[in-house]
Amino acid sequence: MAVAPPLGWSLTSIHPEVVLGVALLAALYAWAARRVPVRPVEAVRFLGALAALLVALNGPLHDLSDGYLFSAHMVQHLVLMLVVPPLLLTGLPAGMADRVLAPVLARPSTAALARGLTRPLPAIALYAVGLIAWHLPAPYNLALEVHGWHVVEHLVLLATAVIGWWPIASPSRRLPPLPYAAQLLYLFVFGMPMTVVAAMITAAERLLFPFYVAAPRIFDLTPLADQRLGGVIMWVPSGLIPLAAFTLVFFRWVAAEADEVA
């Protein structure tokens, strides 16, 4: 059984590899911004994604997720899957994104793979598989027991979520997003995998994740009640965030149609 980390912004709750990775991404973005025009709103989105990564993977939220509360862990996963990816993608100007993708698209084999993975059906399938697989009891408990697998879990959730958001938020002209009408249909489906997982966790009559039985009780919350709270936390945003994106895409479509008429 893993030992629960101490709570708070202590040296033990700050992960140097995460801070270094975020700092490197920020430095690369600043370097690229000197060569490719970046709108202020894009810079704010990209920096917002990096800030969300820092908050999710360091400090109190990280400590609560790793050793105390399933519900806190679900908040962390929501940030990694529903907050960071769309901010990251919409924070990249098209010119910058295409430069990053240039080495991948230069070779026919990797270009075909990239185009295949970012099409709607493979993208939503990868997103759903990553989400469901890592919330099954055995993989989930393994990730909590073994730190290396926990890192893999977060990388897989983040990577598959980026692919899942690609048909909606792609910044690339060479791997573009779907047309507006198709985006609306895609967003209708996008929230379903997380809703299904959340419903199953919320409705479970027994504890699915034994790790939390031995976790210190820092709130007046039983492990089963914590599990159900985590399911509700997954359930509500999994519907609200795609709905917000649906609304935004709809009004963009209306504005684009109005511009064409004008």
pLDDT at 91: 96
Measured CA to CA, the distance from residue 103 to residue 105 in angstroms comes to: 6
pTM above 0.75, yes or no: yes
- Choose the weakest-confidence range: 74-78, 127-131, 219-223: 219-223
Per-residue confidence band for 3, with pLDDT thresholds at 50, 70 and 90:
low
pLDDT at 5: 62
The pLDDT of residue 98 is above 80: yes
Query: 11 to each of 7, 66, 216, how far by Cα in Å?
Result: 11, 15, 21
Per-residue confidence band for 213, with pLDDT thresholds at 50, 70 and 90:
confident
Instruction: Identify the H or E element spanning 262.
Output: none
Mean pLDDT of the chain: 91
The pLDDT of residue 240 is above 80: yes
Per-residue confidence band for 131, with pLDDT thresholds at 50, 70 and 90:
very high
The pLDDT of residue 124 is above 60: yes
CB of 138 closer than 8 Å to CB of 130: no
Measured CA to CA, the distance from residue 244 to residue 162 in angstroms comes to: 17
pLDDT at 71: 94
pLDDT at 137: 92
The pLDDT of residue 168 is above 90: yes
DSSP-assigned letters across all residues of 16-60: HHHHHHHHHHHHHHHHHHTTS---HHHHHHHHHHHHHHHHHHSHH
